[in-house]
Structure 1
Amino acid sequence: MSRFIIAAAVFLSLATSSFAAQQVVDKIVAQVNGEMITLFDLNERVRGYITQVEKKAYNPDSPGFKEIQDRILRTMIEDILLKQEGVRLKVNISDTEVDSRIREMREKAGLSEENFTQQLRVEGLTRKQLAESLKKDMLKKQILGYMVQRKVVVTEDEIKSFYDANKGSLRVESGQRIGLIMVAKMDEAKALRQRILSGQIAFPDAARKFSIGPGADQGGDLGKVELKDLAPELRQALENVKPGGVSEPVLLDGKPVLLTIGGDSGQAAAKSGGAPDFEAVKDSIYERLYREKLEKQFTEYMDKLRAKSVIKVNL
């Protein structure tokens, strides 16, 4: 067999296997009233969830992958059902409305546009991801408000009953208090770190004086954050940092940052017996009960939508 024929045979073999692989990747895993979801789109959503929410490496062979895949496919089906229902009811969330909601969040936090973007990066998010999440949430709330007749009501008695039954496990705030200083150059970050460690300047004072990042006016304080919710590079930088210590400089959006963990890390518990005052947790209990009731109504509503839709799953 000539070298040319061998090469052609190999090429055809690779092309065939590549085409087969493409068919597998583009396999239709679900149809919702005629609208399709492909395996590629599903796996991209799964990848984003695993790497950005669970902060783990994407591995289709890992235990639990199929469970996550099934759960996210269910969510994607719900998204399509809601979008179709929005069209039917003429409910639309414009990009302008989403941008306005993001601006409200930014202004409420007292952050500039640049610092807000940096804050999202700290939490491992992009503005596009935030916008997509907000748009779905706003659509969901509008449709529920449009279709659900009875109001979601949480009474004072319900809040008090929940408090009495759970006050032993309630906490005012959780996470670890994180401080951040962002500067323009790596040499500047290294020198500033040495000044802080040597006691020449306190971390909050250094943040107010030199930081160009989020929370500078508050001494670099980002509030209490769960370490798992931080961007991977920041979480890694804090691995060996003890409360009150300062991390080695690490790049965030191309700029070096220093991080510290406050001394009041962990869950802040209360006065006697570890239970917080009722007033301190009243609002958070209300939000929790309200969300649970809203989710219950949402689930019932989605079940009705599914029942009257044509849904085919082939995963």
Structure 2
Amino acid sequence: MFARAHLLRAHNLKRGMKMKRLALVAAIVSTMFFSFASGAFAQADLQPLAVVKLNKSESITLKQLRTRVELYQKQNNNQAFSVEQKKQILESMIDEKLIIQSAQKSGLSLTETQVNKVFLQQLSMQVGRQVSEAEFAEIIKSQTNLSLDDFMKKTVGMSVAEYKTHLKNQIIIRQYVESMYKDEIGGATATDAEIRNFYDLNKASFVQNDMAKIFLVVVPKGNDVEAARSKANKMLNDLKDKKLSYESIKANATADKTYQGGDLLIQKSVQHAQQLGMSAADLNELFGKSVGFISNLTETKNDFQFYAVRQKYPAKMLSISDVVQPDTTITVYEYIKQNLSSQKQGEAFLAALNKFAKSLDTPENVDRKKTGDALDKLLNW
């Protein structure tokens, strides 16, 4: 289960594995250095299990292995790991250090700016919009009353600085392996037969629910409720009188900043009703309106709103040539191709990683301090 090819989480192939792949790339899922309880086992925890010395001498201690195992146990519902599984986790940690040291020896490096850019992309994905580190810290503080450092330690076992170091290693490893095996990885794409076979086997999954494109305008009340009401009413009346267009309202919202206006594609579902702050009955009423309908002004606790129905799309089974979503250009065929190709490239990347790690794992590069029964005894906790 924990073979070398399981070193990365970047491509979760969803094969029903009982345990997640060992991580190096992408999600905030792995850890390398955080403190563990000491006590009677402190001295034993500090003894090295292996020393990686391809470029420099780096030890992997029992303490570090305990840390990694504990994290994976948390990620897998506190599932207890066997001695054999712990040994395989140790092997993956050796592989990590081998590849990182090889990349460093080749001169591959990243700047702090490059690492921070990827870090902010990850934070922004969590929020759903572009945020700075300071903005994310404010969100975490307001929602959890924790500092960003404490939040990171609680969720991923590392401080911000430690995680950025970890992230830097992940990026270096990916770039390094992909540069050496770019033809094998890049050439792994789905064939026409594979795409059509996947569609035929999963045809029932490609269904478009009843959908509608609405133009929603939201004017926050702010500190002057009547001014907000007046602004919303004027836009509503000007839109009805054709003094304003949808495009002008949307364009002005970018500069104005005191309201939001734009198109939304919504489904006829309970989930979308909740997202819009509507009851199921209200959503049904919306879907009953004709294209071109413009609602009255609605007051909520925090804002004033109105909407217009711009287009409606009936529910249907999607053919392989249909677009996945209205008002887009990606067809079901292209969508399947992208996903299958991504999966195949993930498999090719893991195969390349496995191959490369094996080539580096020599007695000159790795000194395994504990093996056989002695290692089994240490890992029997």
TM-score by length of 2: 0.43
Higher Cα radius of gyration: 2
Query: Does the aligned pair in 2 maintain the 1:27–1:38 contact within 8 Å?
Result: yes
- CA–CA distance in structure 1, aligned partners of residues 345 and 109 of structure 2: 24
> SS in structure 1 opposite 2:169?
helix
Matched letter for residue 99 of structure 1: N
- CA–CA distance in structure 2, aligned partners of residues 151 and 54 of structure 1: 32
Matched letter for residue 285 of structure 1: L
Q: 1:279 to 1:86 in 2, by over 3 A?
A: closer
Q: What residue number does 1:7 align with?
A: none
- CA–CA distance in structure 2, aligned partners of residues 271 and 154 of structure 1: 32
Q: 1:304 to 1:203 in 2, by over 3 A?
A: same
- CA–CA distance in structure 2, aligned partners of residues 130 and 35 of structure 1: 19
* 2:46 aligns with one of 6, 19, 26: 26
Matched letter for residue 278 of structure 1: Y
> SS in structure 1 opposite 2:186?
coil
* 1:35 aligns with one of 31, 34, 58: 58
Q: What residue number does 1:159 align with?
A: 191
Task: Give the superposed CA RMSD.
Answer: 4.1
- CA–CA distance in structure 2, aligned partners of residues 127 and 169 of structure 1: 43
How far apart are residue 30 of structure 1 and its match? 1.4
How far apart are residue 107 of structure 1 and its match? 4.9
Residue 83, structure 1, aligned to residue 100, structure 2: yes
In percent, how many aligned pairs have the same letter? 19
Q: What residue number does 1:284 align with?
A: 339
Q: What residue number does 1:143 align with?
A: 176
- CA–CA distance in structure 1, aligned partners of residues 98 and 69 of structure 2: 19
Q: What residue number does 1:45 align with?
A: 68
How far apart are residue 206 of structure 1 and its match? 5.4
Query: Does the aligned pair in 2 maintain the 1:154–1:289 contact within 8 Å?
Result: no
> SS in structure 1 opposite 2:109?
coil
> SS in structure 1 opposite 2:50?
strand
Residue 309, structure 1, aligned to residue 361, structure 2: no
Matched letter for residue 360 of structure 2: L
Query: Does the aligned pair in 1 maintain the 2:52–2:98 contact within 8 Å?
Result: yes
- CA–CA distance in structure 1, aligned partners of residues 93 and 51 of structure 2: 11
Q: What residue number does 1:182 align with?
A: none
Number of aligned residue pairs: 200
Query: Does the aligned pair in 1 maintain the 2:186–2:345 contact within 8 Å?
Result: yes
Q: Structure 1, residues 50-89: CA drift from partner, whole Å, max 9, x if none?
A: 21x22427xxxx3x34244223212211121122112211
Q: 1:79 to 1:203 in 2, by over 3 A?
A: same
- CA–CA distance in structure 2, aligned partners of residues 137 and 35 of structure 1: 18
Residue 73, structure 1, aligned to residue 90, structure 2: yes
Q: Structure 1, residues 207-248: CA drift from partner, whole Å, max 9, x if none?
A: 9xxxxxxxxxxxxxxxxxxxxxxxxxxxxxxxxxxxxxxxxx
Query: Does the aligned pair in 2 maintain the 1:32–1:81 contact within 8 Å?
Result: yes
Q: 1:40 to 1:105 in 2, by over 3 A?
A: closer
Matched letter for residue 152 of structure 1: I
TM-score by length of 1: 0.51
* 2:349 aligns with one of 277, 294, 297: 294
Q: Structure 1, residues 249-308: CA drift from partner, whole Å, max 9, x if none?
A: xxxxxxxxxxxxxxxxxxxxx9489xx943332211111111111221121111111136
Residue 204, structure 1, aligned to residue 226, structure 2: no
- CA–CA distance in structure 2, aligned partners of residues 137 and 172 of structure 1: 35
* 2:114 aligns with one of 65, 80, 97: 97
Where in structure 2 are the equivalents of 1:250-265 lying within 5 Å?
A: none
- CA–CA distance in structure 1, aligned partners of residues 77 and 339 of structure 2: 26
Where in structure 2 are the equivalents of 1:260-271 lying within 5 Å?
A: 271=317
Query: Does the aligned pair in 1 maintain the 2:109–2:172 contact within 8 Å?
Result: yes
How far apart are residue 19 of structure 1 and its match? 8.1
How far apart are residue 135 of structure 1 and its match? 2.2
- CA–CA distance in structure 1, aligned partners of residues 206 and 365 of structure 2: 43
Where in structure 2 are the equivalents of 1:200-279 lying within 5 Å?
A: 203-205=274-276, 271=317, 277-279=332-334
> SS in structure 2 opposite 1:152?
helix
How far apart are residue 155 of structure 1 and its match? 6.1
Q: 1:278 to 1:130 in 2, by over 3 A?
A: farther
Looking at secondary structure, tell me which structure has more helix per residue. 1
Q: Structure 1, residues 146-180: CA drift from partner, whole Å, max 9, x if none?
A: 43474533366x3333334444259679xxxxxxx
> SS in structure 1 opposite 2:108?
coil
Q: Which runs of 5 or more structure 1 residues have no equivalent in the other structure?
A: 1-17, 174-201, 208-269
- CA–CA distance in structure 2, aligned partners of residues 136 and 169 of structure 1: 38
Query: Does the aligned pair in 2 maintain the 1:172–1:280 contact within 8 Å?
Result: no
Q: Which runs of 5 or more structure 2 residues have no equivalent in the other structure?
A: 1-37, 208-272, 279-315, 325-331, 376-381
